[in-house]
Amino acid sequence: MSSARITTMFLGCCAEALAESINIRRLRMERGYAQAFGLRSGIDILGALRASVRVNSQGEEIKMKTAVLLSIALLPACASSSVGSTGGEPVPSYEYADIFQVNRDDSGAGDNWVGYGASGSIRVDDHLRLFGEFRSVVNDDSPGNDIDVLAAGFGYHLPLFKQTDLVLDLGFIDEENEAPGSAESSTVLQMGAHVRTRLLGPVELELGLTHYSYGDPDTDFDLGAVYHLSDSFGLAVSLADGERRSALRFGARLNL
Protein backbone atom coordinates (compact mmCIF):
# COMPACT_ATOMS: atom_id res chain seq x y z
CA MET A 1 0.00 0.00 0.00
CA SER A 2 1.44 3.41 -0.97
CA SER A 3 2.31 6.08 1.59
CA ALA A 4 -0.25 8.44 0.02
CA ARG A 5 -3.01 5.84 0.55
CA ILE A 6 -1.93 5.21 4.16
CA THR A 7 -1.83 8.95 4.91
CA THR A 8 -5.29 9.42 3.38
CA MET A 9 -6.72 6.70 5.61
CA PHE A 10 -4.98 8.22 8.61
CA LEU A 11 -6.50 11.64 7.94
CA GLY A 12 -9.93 10.06 7.62
CA CYS A 13 -9.53 8.27 10.97
CA CYS A 14 -8.40 11.50 12.64
CA ALA A 15 -11.41 13.35 11.28
CA GLU A 16 -13.71 10.57 12.49
CA ALA A 17 -12.26 10.65 16.00
CA LEU A 18 -12.52 14.44 16.18
CA ALA A 19 -16.11 14.40 14.94
CA GLU A 20 -17.11 11.93 17.63
CA SER A 21 -15.29 13.93 20.31
CA ILE A 22 -17.34 17.06 19.60
CA ASN A 23 -20.62 15.11 19.40
CA ILE A 24 -21.30 15.54 15.70
CA ARG A 25 -24.11 13.11 15.22
CA ARG A 26 -24.26 13.20 11.46
CA LEU A 27 -20.93 11.35 11.07
CA ARG A 28 -22.01 8.10 12.69
CA MET A 29 -22.62 6.23 9.46
CA GLU A 30 -19.84 3.65 9.05
CA ARG A 31 -20.60 3.18 5.40
CA GLY A 32 -20.04 6.86 4.78
CA TYR A 33 -16.55 6.56 6.27
CA ALA A 34 -15.73 3.55 4.08
CA GLN A 35 -16.59 5.63 1.04
CA ALA A 36 -14.50 8.51 2.31
CA PHE A 37 -11.47 6.23 2.69
CA GLY A 38 -11.85 5.17 -0.94
CA LEU A 39 -11.65 8.74 -2.26
CA ARG A 40 -8.60 9.72 -4.29
CA SER A 41 -7.04 12.29 -1.97
CA GLY A 42 -7.20 13.86 1.45
CA ILE A 43 -8.87 16.93 -0.08
CA ASP A 44 -11.78 14.74 -1.28
CA ILE A 45 -12.19 13.45 2.30
CA LEU A 46 -12.25 17.01 3.62
CA GLY A 47 -14.84 17.91 1.01
CA ALA A 48 -17.02 15.02 2.14
CA LEU A 49 -16.68 16.09 5.77
CA ARG A 50 -17.63 19.67 4.99
CA ALA A 51 -20.68 18.54 3.02
CA SER A 52 -21.96 16.25 5.78
CA VAL A 53 -21.03 18.21 8.92
CA ARG A 54 -23.03 21.08 10.34
CA VAL A 55 -21.38 22.64 13.38
CA ASN A 56 -23.82 23.66 16.11
CA SER A 57 -21.69 26.05 18.17
CA GLN A 58 -18.82 28.48 17.80
CA GLY A 59 -16.43 26.35 19.85
CA GLU A 60 -17.14 23.28 17.78
CA GLU A 61 -16.60 25.29 14.56
CA ILE A 62 -13.16 26.42 15.74
CA LYS A 63 -12.17 22.81 16.47
CA MET A 64 -13.35 21.65 13.07
CA LYS A 65 -11.43 24.43 11.29
CA THR A 66 -8.32 23.43 13.20
CA ALA A 67 -8.71 19.83 12.01
CA VAL A 68 -9.21 20.99 8.43
CA LEU A 69 -6.07 23.17 8.50
CA LEU A 70 -4.03 20.37 10.05
CA SER A 71 -5.16 17.94 7.36
CA ILE A 72 -4.31 20.39 4.58
CA ALA A 73 -0.87 20.97 6.11
CA LEU A 74 -0.18 17.21 6.06
CA LEU A 75 -1.09 16.76 2.40
CA PRO A 76 2.21 18.14 0.94
CA ALA A 77 4.17 15.77 3.15
CA CYS A 78 2.04 12.92 1.87
CA ALA A 79 2.66 13.93 -1.73
CA SER A 80 6.43 14.32 -1.32
CA SER A 81 6.64 10.96 0.43
CA SER A 82 4.76 9.32 -2.41
CA VAL A 83 7.06 10.83 -5.05
CA GLY A 84 10.22 9.96 -3.17
CA SER A 85 9.19 6.36 -2.69
CA THR A 86 9.17 5.64 -6.44
CA GLY A 87 12.78 6.78 -6.91
CA GLY A 88 14.57 7.27 -10.22
CA GLU A 89 16.98 4.74 -11.64
CA PRO A 90 20.52 6.10 -12.26
CA VAL A 91 21.37 6.84 -15.88
CA PRO A 92 24.67 7.60 -17.66
CA SER A 93 25.93 11.16 -17.16
CA TYR A 94 26.41 13.64 -20.02
CA GLU A 95 26.90 16.91 -18.14
CA TYR A 96 30.09 16.92 -16.12
CA ALA A 97 33.58 18.33 -15.62
CA ASP A 98 36.63 16.12 -15.02
CA ILE A 99 40.13 16.79 -13.75
CA PHE A 100 42.67 14.00 -14.09
CA GLN A 101 46.26 12.84 -14.10
CA VAL A 102 47.42 10.92 -17.16
CA ASN A 103 50.28 8.46 -17.70
CA ARG A 104 51.07 7.75 -21.34
CA ASP A 105 53.48 5.33 -22.99
CA ASP A 106 54.40 5.64 -26.66
CA SER A 107 54.66 2.17 -28.13
CA GLY A 108 57.37 2.96 -30.69
CA ALA A 109 59.86 4.90 -28.58
CA GLY A 110 58.95 3.49 -25.19
CA ASP A 111 58.78 6.99 -23.75
CA ASN A 112 56.94 7.68 -20.50
CA TRP A 113 54.78 10.82 -20.46
CA VAL A 114 53.12 12.17 -17.33
CA GLY A 115 50.77 15.12 -17.03
CA TYR A 116 47.40 16.57 -16.11
CA GLY A 117 44.26 17.59 -17.89
CA ALA A 118 40.62 18.65 -17.74
CA SER A 119 37.60 17.64 -19.79
CA GLY A 120 33.90 18.30 -19.85
CA SER A 121 30.60 17.59 -21.53
CA ILE A 122 27.35 19.53 -21.74
CA ARG A 123 23.94 18.63 -23.18
CA VAL A 124 22.48 20.47 -26.16
CA ASP A 125 19.23 18.49 -26.15
CA ASP A 126 18.00 15.08 -25.03
CA HIS A 127 20.45 13.23 -27.29
CA LEU A 128 23.11 15.69 -28.47
CA ARG A 129 26.04 16.96 -26.41
CA LEU A 130 29.24 18.97 -26.84
CA PHE A 131 32.53 17.85 -25.32
CA GLY A 132 36.02 19.24 -24.94
CA GLU A 133 39.34 18.36 -23.37
CA PHE A 134 42.80 19.80 -22.73
CA ARG A 135 45.78 17.85 -21.45
CA SER A 136 49.49 18.50 -21.20
CA VAL A 137 52.17 15.87 -20.63
CA VAL A 138 55.96 15.98 -20.24
CA ASN A 139 58.49 13.31 -21.07
CA ASP A 140 60.10 11.81 -17.99
CA ASP A 141 62.77 10.12 -20.11
CA SER A 142 63.67 13.27 -22.12
CA PRO A 143 63.32 16.47 -20.06
CA GLY A 144 62.25 19.44 -22.16
CA ASN A 145 59.88 17.45 -24.36
CA ASP A 146 56.18 18.11 -23.85
CA ILE A 147 52.90 17.59 -25.69
CA ASP A 148 49.77 19.75 -25.45
CA VAL A 149 46.52 18.27 -26.72
CA LEU A 150 43.23 20.10 -27.34
CA ALA A 151 40.18 18.05 -28.32
CA ALA A 152 36.59 19.10 -29.06
CA GLY A 153 33.55 17.78 -30.82
CA PHE A 154 29.97 16.63 -30.44
CA GLY A 155 28.35 13.36 -29.49
CA TYR A 156 25.02 11.68 -29.99
CA HIS A 157 23.62 9.09 -27.59
CA LEU A 158 20.54 6.90 -27.81
CA PRO A 159 19.21 4.24 -25.45
CA LEU A 160 19.99 0.60 -26.17
CA PHE A 161 18.13 -0.84 -23.21
CA LYS A 162 17.54 -0.15 -19.52
CA GLN A 163 20.12 2.36 -18.16
CA THR A 164 22.42 1.69 -21.12
CA ASP A 165 23.19 4.00 -24.07
CA LEU A 166 25.08 3.84 -27.34
CA VAL A 167 27.36 6.89 -27.59
CA LEU A 168 28.69 8.13 -30.96
CA ASP A 169 31.33 10.90 -31.01
CA LEU A 170 32.87 12.98 -33.77
CA GLY A 171 35.54 15.62 -33.19
CA PHE A 172 39.10 16.75 -33.74
CA ILE A 173 42.39 16.67 -31.87
CA ASP A 174 45.01 19.39 -32.15
CA GLU A 175 48.37 18.11 -30.87
CA GLU A 176 51.49 20.23 -30.39
CA ASN A 177 54.81 18.47 -29.79
CA GLU A 178 57.65 20.57 -28.42
CA ALA A 179 61.25 19.54 -27.95
CA PRO A 180 64.45 21.55 -27.39
CA GLY A 181 65.05 23.40 -30.67
CA SER A 182 62.01 22.04 -32.50
CA ALA A 183 58.22 22.02 -32.51
CA GLU A 184 55.53 20.47 -34.65
CA SER A 185 51.74 20.31 -34.62
CA SER A 186 49.04 18.19 -36.19
CA THR A 187 45.25 18.14 -36.34
CA VAL A 188 43.34 14.91 -36.89
CA LEU A 189 39.76 13.71 -36.75
CA GLN A 190 38.55 11.35 -34.07
CA MET A 191 35.49 9.10 -34.27
CA GLY A 192 34.25 7.02 -31.37
CA ALA A 193 31.59 4.43 -30.64
CA HIS A 194 31.01 3.40 -27.03
CA VAL A 195 28.46 1.74 -24.79
CA ARG A 196 27.81 3.53 -21.51
CA THR A 197 25.78 1.95 -18.69
CA ARG A 198 24.62 2.48 -15.07
CA LEU A 199 23.30 -1.05 -14.51
CA LEU A 200 25.67 -1.38 -11.53
CA GLY A 201 24.07 1.49 -9.61
CA PRO A 202 26.76 3.94 -8.44
CA VAL A 203 29.29 2.50 -10.93
CA GLU A 204 29.11 3.89 -14.48
CA LEU A 205 30.97 1.82 -17.09
CA GLU A 206 32.04 2.75 -20.62
CA LEU A 207 33.48 0.44 -23.27
CA GLY A 208 34.25 1.13 -26.93
CA LEU A 209 36.62 2.19 -29.70
CA THR A 210 38.04 5.54 -30.84
CA HIS A 211 39.59 5.94 -34.30
CA TYR A 212 42.18 8.64 -35.11
CA SER A 213 42.95 9.71 -38.69
CA TYR A 214 46.72 10.13 -38.36
CA GLY A 215 48.92 9.62 -41.42
CA ASP A 216 49.18 6.12 -40.03
CA PRO A 217 45.62 5.67 -38.68
CA ASP A 218 45.19 4.24 -35.22
CA THR A 219 42.27 2.85 -33.23
CA ASP A 220 42.20 2.79 -29.43
CA PHE A 221 40.35 0.34 -27.26
CA ASP A 222 38.73 2.35 -24.45
CA LEU A 223 37.60 1.19 -21.03
CA GLY A 224 36.43 3.57 -18.30
CA ALA A 225 34.60 3.61 -14.99
CA VAL A 226 33.17 6.29 -12.71
CA TYR A 227 32.21 5.56 -9.12
CA HIS A 228 29.55 8.11 -8.16
CA LEU A 229 29.99 8.92 -4.47
CA SER A 230 26.97 11.23 -4.69
CA ASP A 231 24.72 12.80 -7.30
CA SER A 232 27.31 15.53 -7.88
CA PHE A 233 30.72 13.93 -7.28
CA GLY A 234 32.55 10.80 -8.38
CA LEU A 235 35.96 9.17 -8.93
CA ALA A 236 36.97 8.25 -12.48
CA VAL A 237 39.53 5.96 -14.09
CA SER A 238 40.03 5.08 -17.76
CA LEU A 239 42.39 3.15 -20.04
CA ALA A 240 43.03 3.73 -23.74
CA ASP A 241 45.20 1.23 -25.59
CA GLY A 242 46.24 1.46 -29.26
CA GLU A 243 49.14 0.72 -31.58
CA ARG A 244 50.64 4.22 -31.24
CA ARG A 245 50.28 4.63 -27.48
CA SER A 246 48.52 3.58 -24.31
CA ALA A 247 47.27 5.95 -21.64
CA LEU A 248 45.95 5.52 -18.12
CA ARG A 249 44.16 8.36 -16.40
CA PHE A 250 42.47 8.77 -13.05
CA GLY A 251 40.80 11.74 -11.42
CA ALA A 252 37.59 13.26 -10.10
CA ARG A 253 34.26 14.10 -11.75
CA LEU A 254 31.82 16.88 -10.91
CA ASN A 255 28.34 16.26 -12.32
CA LEU A 256 26.72 19.50 -13.45
Judge whether residue 2 has pLDDT over 70. Answer: no
Residue 186 has pLDDT above 60, yes or no: yes
Residue 163: left if φ>0, alpha if ψ -120 to 50, beta else—which one? left
| Average pLDDT estimate for 94-109 | 88
What's the pLDDT tens digit per position in 115-152? 999 999 999 999 999 999 999 999 877 777 899 999 99
More confident residue, 247 or 141: 247
Considering the chain, what percentage of its residues have pLDDT values greater than 90?
51
Amino acid 1: pLDDT: 52
- Model confidence at 36, pLDDT cuts 50, 70, 90, reads very low
191 touches 170 (CB < 8 A): yes
- Per residue, what are the HEC states of the chain? CCHHHHHHHHHHHHHHHHHHHCCCHHHCCHHHHHHHHCCCCHHHHHHHHHHHCCCCCHHHHHHHHHHHHHHHHHHHHHHHHHHHHHCCCCCCCCCEEEEEEEEEEECCCCCEEEEEEEEEEEECCCCEEEEEEEEEEEECCCCCCEEEEEEEEEEEEEEEECCEEEEEEEEEEEEEEEECCEEEEEEEEEEEEEEEEEEECCEEEEEEEEEECCCCCEEEEEEEEEEECCCCEEEEEEEEECCCEEEEEEEEEEEC
What was the pLDDT predicted at 223? 98
What is the rounded average pLDDT of the residues 65-70? Answer: 47
The answer, yes or no, to whether residue 174 has pLDDT greater than 80, is yes
pLDDT at 165 over 90: yes
Higher local confidence (pLDDT), 32 or 254: 254
Average pLDDT over residues 76-103: 70
Q: What is the mean pLDDT of the chain?
A: 77
Give the separation between CA 87 and CA 83, rounded to whole angstroms: 7
Q: Please report the domains of the chain, with CATH numbers, ordered by start residue.
A: 3-86 (no CATH), 96-255 (2.40.160.20)
Percent pLDDT > 70 in the chain is: 64
13 beta partners: none
How high is the pLDDT of residue 187?
95
Taken in order 176, 141, 245, 170, the sign of the CA dihedral is negative
Of residues 202 and 4, the one with the higher pLDDT is 202
